[in-house]
Structure 1
Amino acid sequence: MFTEFNLDERLLKALDSLSFTKPTDVQRETIPLALAGKDLLVTAETGSGKTLAFGLPLLQRLQTNKQPNLGARALILAPTRELAIQIQEEIAKFAKFTFINADTVCGGEPFKPQAARLRKNPEILIATPGRLVEHLDRQSISLEDIEVLILDEADRMLEMGFEEDMNRIISACPEERQSLLFSATLGHKSMSSVVSSSLKEPENLMLTSRRAAHINIAQQIIPAIDNSLKDKQLAWLLTHETYEKAIVFVNTKVQADRLSGYLRYNKLKAGVIHGDLTQEQRKHAMNLLKIGKIDILVATDVAARGLDVDGIDLVINYEMARKGDEHTHRVGRTGRAGRQGLAISLISPNEWNLMSSIERYLKTHFEKRTIKGLEGSYLGPKKLKASGKAAGPKKKKTADKKPSKTKAAPKKRAGKRPSSPSAPIDDGFSPFKKR
């Protein structure tokens, strides 16, 4: 029970209004240490309740030790605008019976109105690295009063190329502060330097393995041969599978725009989100998904981290994620908070090795599935017969006798054996019929 943490009555009232009674594992382990002022390095899977785990101790600190004449007292750094906005919304729910206010510092909106809004001195800043550094460069914001620094999804920020910005932001905060680093994975090569520069003698809470499979998510693969077949398979799945909301992941912005148009042409209610859209456009798409005006979101990996939308029970990887950790975050949009989810990956021949490497990395096995009439002709590389010896050309058996004295056959000239032309690929599927 949250009452065990001796929280302020206003925070307990907010939790009660949200029907939050029992803390998750990450909240149970993290909150007491954070309330004690410890620096923390926490690894926990997506959907485990990390926002509340760092949000409650932060609000308790600000509510208990009020400093009305200071600037921003807490900074939460997040990799994407969507995650920053989501954190701000969650913090506002927890703090609704207090006078603590929070604001976002993200790209995608005009700089001057944002700077004017920040002059009202919100106690909590939730920021993306690029825009925050822009404010620091223009001296429109100060971090000299920061008491708590929280890095959420730090490995994703490093993958996005924000290492230099993160170091700049960390150095702009006071040395005497509490720091917490939360992430679902800690696999980036530069993570150790970020940990050493931001945390002092941290408590290390490893609450999940970064390679742990989601027990609530059924993972399937469907072989394809090219994008034309993938389009038909995708439309079939989104027409025939049972789901409340679905996310389709792709690797490029161009592909995201193309697929969202293709799905709408097939009378499916789809939206799109990627990095080239303005903040208002991305926010609008997310709101449409949340309220049910659309039930499909085509997204690049900008949506893979941190987004928590109720009712997402189907994830489709139109293109395989490039790494195991990214695959984990994609499929982690479903199967959250104990609910069952389904993740399906459409695999073309050139993605088969990548898919296999992700299986090995995650120490799991994806169930193979086909769609009648939309089968891919390539079903993976042929497996060698199990044997104790490596496969190789068979040697002719020779009789155990003395060589004959007959004239030896003339030696053949050394040279390369001509390669046989590849057989044409039969894609093996019938034309897609719209239903």
Structure 2
Amino acid sequence: MNTHFSELLLPDALMRGLANEGYATATPVQAQVIPLAMDGLDLLVSAATGSGKTAAFLLPIMQRFLDAPRRDGSTRALILVPTRELARQIHIHFMRLGSYTRLQSGVITGGESKAHQIATLRKNPEILVATPGRLLEFLETGQADLHDLEFLVLDEADRMLDMGFADDVLAIIRYSRPQRQSLLFSATLDHRGLRPITERLLRNPQRVEIDAVRQQHPDIAHWLFLSDGIEHKREQVLWLLRNETYDKAVIFTNTRAGAEALGNFLQGQQQRVAVLHGELDQRERNRVMGLLHSGRVSTLIATDLAARGLDVPGVQRVFNFDLPRSGDDYLHRTGRTGRAGEAGVAISLVSPQEWNRMESITRYLNLTVEQRDITGLKASFKGPVKRKKPSKPTATSAKRKATAAVTEQPRKKERLRDRKNIGKRRVPASVQAQEAGHAPLTRRGRDVGGKPDEDSTAS
């Protein structure tokens, strides 16, 4: 049953912001999380990317601040995220939802001017969106203050742990006000490093699981193209970009060098592409994302840096030029499409070396994958050769073998003399003696000379 935002008792200013963005019905994660968060509960939430979880934690925070405004004190809500891109996306989402309010938000991330960020902190915005490393620097120097904190949100918590932010997150928790409400969002709740975080962050948390990580996204179709290697993949991607109908596309590679090489190739083929990876400074990252948002480029080539937090309307195609290293990475990459109920397609180019990994991913995520070909660009690689299993013996054949084993007679021992007599007629000894003109001899009828005696003859 669909839940309308009007049923969640949100302030009029937020309802106007939702209507302005075209939101009328809450997603499942929003319908469950918003009422619980408004009741003041700590939450441990598992929700797939693209499920609407950003609004699920922003709306109850904004509702609290609108109902109980404060003009003094420091930051009231902190949202910790793993990447700069996700921080910017959440800030943009806040600005849209809060366009009819006077609430303020600030962004603190690495790669930006510290002087500018210190000025932001001095304004004491109600909501602060930050990456752990840069914020911890300001906390240690006393330039940031979390003693008035009412909400602490960890978004993409599993990703933060994978990026090595566990110690920074624990330190930030120690700096924050103990009497706070805490919300943790993660694509998976069985991450081995989450327990130390949840034990220090949450108090008697309510557990909410929506769109389990291994559940196939209903709005994303998964295609597979077999490829013979890098050069073949480039030609396949070029053909698909030229012939597929889409608004925007994201192509993922596993390395920075791979992203740049593919970008140079496609730009040489007059494709409107831009490249995003971890070695770009923040100003260049902002420029690249601006090109994609404005439509000046239609295709973004990125490393996994952009797999989480990239929320660009109109992304209808996601390409795995290099197959991701795990099922979770596949999930977060492909989650860039099929967002907010729109249909999307995830396309994987699979070389012989990647076949086993692709099979593991499809089993892990329980994916239904459609294998396709491009006329003129079919791979010579056809997938692994299926070995024939040895046929099992039937009951009839097994019975025959058992009967033969029982009835088979033991073989007679073969002697050399028998082999020499092969083909010769066997004649008894008595017959041989008669043919030689001698009577058969007996023990009683034999004398010393070998002649028969009288008694034996008479008898």
TM range (shorter): 0.7 to 0.9
Seen in structure 2, the aligned counterparts of structure 1 residues 174 and 224 have a Cα distance that, compared at 3 Å, is: same
- Aligned-partner Cα distance in 1 for 2:230–2:322: 9
Seen in structure 2, the aligned counterparts of structure 1 residues 382 and 98 have a Cα distance that, compared at 3 Å, is: same
Unaligned stretches of 5+ in structure 2? 393-400, 417-459
- Aligned-partner Cα distance in 1 for 2:37–2:338: 28
Q: Of the candidates 251, 258, 272, which is equivalent to residue 248 of structure 1?
A: 251
- Aligned-partner Cα distance in 2 for 1:306–1:388: 52
User: Deviations along 1:81-114, whole A, 9 cap, x unmatched?
Assistant: 1110010111112222222100100111122222
CA contact (8 A) 2:87 2:309 kept: no
| Shift of residue 189, structure 1, vs aligned partner | 1.2
Is the counterpart of residue 349 in structure 1 residue 352 in structure 2? yes
Is the counterpart of residue 207 in structure 1 residue 222 in structure 2? no
| Shift of residue 372, structure 1, vs aligned partner | 2.1
Q: Which portions of structure 1, spanning 4 or more consecutive aligned residues, are displaced by more than 3 angstroms?
A: 386-389, 397-407
Identity of aligned residues (%): 45
| Shift of residue 387, structure 1, vs aligned partner | 5.3
Structure 1 match to 2:380: 377
Q: How does 1:164-243 map to 2 (within 5 A)?
A: 164-243=167-246
The one-letter amino acid paired with 1:227 is: I
Q: Of the candidates 56, 75, 79, which is equivalent to residue 72 of structure 1?
A: 75
The one-letter amino acid paired with 1:33 is: L
| Shift of residue 337, structure 1, vs aligned partner | 1.8
User: Deviations along 1:308-344, whole A, 9 cap, x unmatched?
Assistant: 2111110100001111011011111111222221111
| Shift of residue 137, structure 1, vs aligned partner | 2.7
- Aligned-partner Cα distance in 1 for 2:40–2:271: 50
Is the counterpart of residue 311 in structure 1 residue 314 in structure 2? yes
Is the counterpart of residue 10 in structure 1 residue 13 in structure 2? yes
Q: Of the candidates 24, 31, 34, which is equivalent to residue 31 of structure 1?
A: 34
| Shift of residue 24, structure 1, vs aligned partner | 1.3
| Shift of residue 406, structure 1, vs aligned partner | 9.4
Structure 2 match to 1:47: 50
| Shift of residue 186, structure 1, vs aligned partner | 2.6
Query: What is the number of equivalent residue pairs in this alignment?
Result: 401
Structure 2 match to 1:427: none
Structure 2 match to 1:394: none
Seen in structure 2, the aligned counterparts of structure 1 residues 405 and 266 have a Cα distance that, compared at 3 Å, is: farther
The one-letter amino acid paired with 1:11 is: L
User: Deviations along 1:7-64, whole A, 9 cap, x unmatched?
Assistant: 2222222222222221111111111110010111111222221111111100011111
User: Deviations along 1:213-238, whole A, 9 cap, x unmatched?
Assistant: 11211111111121111111111111
CA contact (8 A) 1:186 1:210 kept: no
Is the counterpart of residue 134 in structure 1 residue 137 in structure 2? yes
CA contact (8 A) 1:155 1:187 kept: no
- Aligned-partner Cα distance in 2 for 1:257–1:403: 81
- Aligned-partner Cα distance in 2 for 1:187–1:294: 38
- Aligned-partner Cα distance in 2 for 1:387–1:30: 55
User: Deviations along 1:233-273, whole A, 9 cap, x unmatched?
Assistant: 11111111111110000111111111111111110000111
CA contact (8 A) 1:243 1:313 kept: yes
Question: For the aligned residues, what is the CA RMSD?
Answer: 2.1
- Aligned-partner Cα distance in 1 for 2:207–2:412: 74
Q: How does 1:253-292 map to 2 (within 5 A)?
A: 253-292=256-295
> What TM-score, normalized by structure 1, do the two folds share?
0.88
Q: 1:7 aligns to what SS in structure 2?
A: coil
Structure 2 match to 1:149: 152
CA contact (8 A) 1:106 1:128 kept: yes
Higher helix proportion (structure 1 or 2):
2
The range that moved more, 6-15 or 230-239, is: 6-15
- Aligned-partner Cα distance in 1 for 2:298–2:253: 17
Q: 1:375 aligns to what SS in structure 2?
A: coil
Unaligned stretches of 5+ in structure 1? 390-396, 408-435
